[in-house]
Chains A and B, each alone.
Chain A
């Protein structure tokens, strides 16, 4: 069998992969939940921590709130106005903004961290529960989109798909 990538050495990770594999083979997108922005403190990027009712049966409230709060903290860090951001702004202005050709802004650095965090959260927490978080940057920073996958799609089609995939493997 070609195409083996034996990178999963850890037993836990293999279990997670297994979970995800099972999910992917038999899952179909059931619903999407959108966590809206919280504008109570102005236009800074912050998401509501209210726990949506659709997720009640899928994930614990505390885990969800932790994720959203951490994301909010990251965004607050990105948009923080203080000495460093002023310095960056003044330096950029002084160099006629050419400095951005070689340097990435602090916001971009934090966005990378956020992407990594979301990936990690998806791997560890959300995917095993049949959920998936989409990075808000993909949705214009308006919403956190959480896709809910059913454990089983319509039984006929899902078994059909697995049998096709099984036959090509053999």
Chain B
């Protein structure tokens, strides 16, 4: 499915083959498929698309296991002694840190790092057209870089052959996940996900809180053993009485070096608004000598850089995991047969059906780009028209439907039945307004008839 070699997009091919990468695996199915099911990258999805994780998440259980085991041993074996001899706050602080660490870790692992959806074939063809201005018939791969000016500094944008677009600045393609990720930092195997624009703050809070946790446990265990050896007049005796402490000591000792080092490194990155990727490649180091090749993204103030990176606005997820893939073939086949017209007011009830407004609209948006493909001369011409006009009807009957769980985070997992939708997705996947307008006109009876037609079909079809 994933073709790593570049293939020139033939504009003629757009008219006969399924257009979107997302739909090429789609068959005629009665069940509407969500976009995560046809996602082209190497990610895995859980909870019906609410949770995203990289394909190889092998080390994440190890990370979690180490943290849970160490903390478990700490609470079970060290805390009783320390509570007795010192203070109750020790397990409390430990508990708070543990919760922080685990939530940050899970957030980092299960959040979309800022994946850029692949270019639609139309977009990719447009890019090709722009660069292949000579019009030669022989195929030539597009130039790989494009230079732009950012804050008076020249930055090269590379062309991504997998995603078929010029990568925005600071974006990099992760080969493990097979996605372009915005503000790509690195792919962290411990966390089992890429670290990018959307989950960098979680990653940072994870390593900071983990450093505190490991240092805290390390200190407490040392205190515990010291106090115990004073009480029992012997170190060996103390260790024999509490062997778990040794295990914790060993784990913490080796973790502290790496975690503290990593925290320090990332604090430096945050303060100078760099990514690991840029730092390793030396993109903004003074390798050009006298040239003023500083980081063009830095705000030249440590505090501002920190605030922007960690407390800046949270961008939305650009891949719509829980949206429905428009069922292109299903609708036209059925639309020609029925002529029943439910009144528009009953469309509110119709929303309870599988196909939501948003899906119809997405279908609309996709179908509008597939008119060329669906219009060989002859009868099929009518079906796109019906399809296009029919999609108008649904949105007007649904002023603000509860459209679908947010596709950004696993927000309300327990409260989201499959057909419940939130308003957010509705806005984010904008209603095609031109089509939205066309439905309620009573003056054109033809259109009214057709409008009533297919959405009902669509609903029935997709049950």
Contacts and interface: CB of A to CB of B under 8 A. Distances in A.
A146 to B, nearest CB: 11
Contacts of B297: 42-43
Interface in A109-149: 111-112, 115-116, 118-123, 126-127, 132, 134-135, 137-143, 145, 147
B289 interface: no
Given A3-B451, A8-B442, A29-B368, A97 B107 contact: yes
A150 B442 CA distance: 25
B439 interface: yes
Contact of B429 (A6, A14, A138): A138
A58 interface: no
Contacts of A164: 382
A134 B432 CA distance: 7
B316 A137 contact: yes
B135 interface: no
Contacts of A107: 313-316
- Among A18, A23, A89, A100, the most chain B Cβ lie within 10 Å of the Cβ of A89
A52 to B, nearest CB: 11
A86 B307 contact: yes
B343 interface: yes
Contacts of B440: 5-8, 17
Contact of B448 (A4, A29, A132, A153): A4
B452 A2 contact: yes
A55 interface: no
A106 interface: yes
Interface in B341-385: 341-345, 365, 368-369, 371-372, 375, 377, 381-382, 385
B436 interface: yes
A50 interface: no
A81 B310 CA distance: 11
Interface in B233-285: none
B315 to A, nearest CB: 6
B149 A138 contact: no
Nearest to A107: B313
A104 B169 contact: no
A152 interface: no
A40 B437 contact: no
A13 B386 CA distance: 23
A63 interface: no
B126 A43 contact: no
B438 A138 contact: no
A118 B308 CA distance: 28
A116 B41 CA distance: 31
A92 to B, nearest CB: 8
A43 B123 contact: no
B371 A2 contact: no
Contacts of B296: 42
Given A34-B126, A100-B409, A143-B123, A3 B452 contact: yes
A131 to B, nearest CB: 9
A34 B122 CA distance: 9
A108 B449 contact: no
A23 B15 CA distance: 21
B90 interface: no
Given A8-B440, A127-B437, A112 B424 contact: yes
B446 interface: yes
Contact of A127 (B202, B369, B393, B433): B433
Contacts of B341: 1-3
Nearest to A131: B434
A42 B434 CA distance: 33
- Which 5 pairs, one residue from A and one from B, show the smallest C-beta to C-beta distance? A89-B311, A119-B433, A3-B452, A135-B430, A2-B341
Given A108-B427, A138-B365, A165-B386, 19 more contacts: A17-B441, A17-B443, A24-B447, A25-B389, A34-B123, A37-B168, A42-B296, A85-B313, A89-B313, A96-B99, A121-B433, A122-B432, A123-B436, A127-B434, A137-B429, A143-B123, A147-B368, A158-B381, A169-B449
23 contacts: A1-B445, A1-B448, A3-B452, A4-B343, A6-B440, A24-B389, A24-B434, A28-B372, A34-B122, A34-B123, A40-B148, A40-B150, A43-B169, A81-B312, A89-B310, A93-B311, A115-B430, A119-B430, A135-B428, A135-B430, A138-B429, A142-B123, A168-B450
Interface of A: 1-8, 13-14, 16-18, 20-21, 23-25, 28-29, 32-34, 37, 39-43, 78-81, 85-86, 88-90, 92-93, 96-97, 100-101, 104-108, 111-112, 115-116, 118-123, 126-127, 132, 134-135, 137-143, 145, 147, 153-154, 156-158, 160-162, 164-166, 168-169
